[in-house]
Amino acid sequence: MEKTIFLILLIITSIPISHQKPREWVAANFDYYKLVLMWPNTFCSINQCGIYSVPLEFTIHGYWPDNKTILLEFCGGRPGRPAFDYGKVKHTLWLDLKLHWPNLIDPTSISFLEHEWERHGLCDTPNPDQNSYFSGAMTWKRNLDVTGSLKDGGVTPDDYTTVKVAKIKEAIVEKAKSLGMNYTPDADAIYVKCIKKNSDAYLSEIVICLDAYDSKIVMCHLRINECQDENVYYLSSPQNLK
């Protein structure tokens, strides 16, 4: 039951209704990656998480090859696009994935990584490789260190006080500057997702678009389910938001 809820949430938060029916197989030709980072305390506020200890840092929801005009997904069914094979993932990478890209519903299951690979990873390059794809996501997560970036920008988890969405974005841009990235974007290049409960908004995900061919943050297009609130709660612990 929990796995079903998890997959339903992924579908609802990742794809608009207009894209749910057509599944056109598109050759790997994309403009940028969407690095989608989820805040576990919010996720576990609306789902029954099975993980022993909820992570105190952003974890990866996905690393999605995408472009400006069409949502790329389900690029399987073409020669050279292999199904997910756990045995081919390097051991050291696998340990990193368990920590930074965990299945919060069932930490013993590989279904989440399998889902992400088959829905998004197979759109990565003409000959997608699991180790290259997952390593790319891990590299960007470490370099940007969103949890640490927010802390450096004066944004820390708090169950009782909201934070401005603009401040969250600005903290990430400051981190990009410190990395010497080729292009320092306007803060609006990044977008935030939130969960609504009554009149309150809770930070759920941060989406950062990264140029497919260069080390820089670029403007995110197709901003699906972007949070429209100016202020959000950045939870320090899971709450009952069901």
Q: List active site positions.
A: 61, 116, 120
Residue 95 vs residues 148, 155, 185: alpha-carbon distances, Å: 21, 29, 33
> Which H helix or E strand runs over 63?
strand 59-66
Burial class (CB in 10 A: 0-12, 13-18, 19+), 18: exposed
With H, G, I as helix, E, B as strand and everything else as coil, classify residue 124. coil
CA dist., res. 226 & res. 218, Å (int): 16
Does residue 241 contact residue 207 with C-beta atoms inside 8 Å? no
* Token reading at 26: 């598109």
The Cβ of residue 220 has, within 10 Å, a number of other Cβ atoms equal to 21
> Which H helix or E strand runs over 191?
strand 191-197
Burial class (CB in 10 A: 0-12, 13-18, 19+), 67: middle
Specify the amino acid at residue 219.
Answer: M
CA dist., res. 219 & res. 216, Å (int): 10
